[in-house]
Amino acid sequence: MISSSQRSRGRWLLMAAATALAGIVGVALLVIAMSETSSQPGRHSAAQDMNGNPIQFDPGTMPDEAEVERMQVEEDGGLRLRVPSVDLDVPLGSLASVDGEITPPGFTSAYYVRNRGVTPDGGGDGTLVVVTHSLREPGVAPGNFLIDVKEQIATLPTDSIVMIGDTSYAVRDSYPIARTEVADDSRVWNNAPGRLVLITCLQTGSSPAVANIVIEASLI
């Protein structure tokens, strides 16, 4: 990443217009595409996937210490993200956008964005945005449960149930979007009561992901 514009296009995968109610624009959501066979030395060398395996990071993908501190990341806020049809059950943490950018640093939790969109207990008032990682094989992160790499689609058909704590949402749509197009796609960033948007990388199987899967669901 040589310039700030290149950083936005390469490292930051999703550029979002935030909720109309808050009048916020330009929030970025980072869902990192990574491989993992062995960890690189340094501050992220202890990072593990859901099976406890160390992760090897693609160059330039992880935030530095200052960014992580400013995000005030919570890995587990006491709620769970559950998708019974694919046996996904992980902690739901949270984080804050910093300078219009968000970088989920963990690989065993999903995260809602505290200062963009609504909180889980306010899901009836607007769009709740949840982001999580997927990893290239043999790694396993929460997002891997949500994608079919071979078919390049989401694993959740219409009416699949997604649970945020005790609140249930039914899947209404899912679609891949090239990272370069996410910022301008109104389907993603529409603010509507009772709406959940769940986003992860769409892995390719052998190279860094170039697209994201967006799953939209409605409050039941």
Tally of structural domains, the chain: 1
Q: How many CB atoms lie within 10 A of CB 138?
A: 11
**Is 100 or 115 the better-scoring residue by pLDDT?**
115
The token duo for 51 is 């099976």
The total number of residues shown for the chain amounts to 220
Q: What are phi and psi of 195, to 5 degrees?
A: -110, 135
Q: Give residue 90's domain range.
A: 4-219
The domain that holds 97 is classified in CATH as 2.40.260.10
Q: What is the pLDDT of residues 9-56, one digit of tens each?
A: 333 343 332 222 332 333 344 444 444 433 333 344 578 999 999 988
Decide if pLDDT at 95 tops 90.
no
Decide if pLDDT at 128 tops 80.
yes
Q: What is the pLDDT of residues 183-218, one digit of tens each?
A: 678 888 889 999 999 999 899 888 888 898 999 999
Q: How many CB atoms lie within 10 A of CB 94?
A: 23
Q: What pLDDT score was predicted for residue 216?
A: 97
Decide if pLDDT at 166 tops 90.
yes
Q: What pLDDT score was predicted for residue 187?
A: 86
> What average pLDDT score do residues 141-156 get?
96
AA identity, residue 216: E
Q: What pLDDT score was predicted for residue 126?
A: 95
pTM listed for this prediction: 0.81
Of 215, 174, 177, 162, which is closest to residue 15 (Cα–Cα)?
A: 177
AA identity, residue 90: V
Q: What pLDDT score was predicted for residue 37?
A: 36
Could you tell me if 179 and 13 are in contact, meaning their C-beta atoms sit under 8 angstroms apart?
A: yes
**Is 31 or 80 the better-scoring residue by pLDDT?**
80
Of 82, 73, 53, which is closest to residue 164 (Cα–Cα)?
A: 82
Q: What pLDDT score was predicted for residue 18?
A: 29
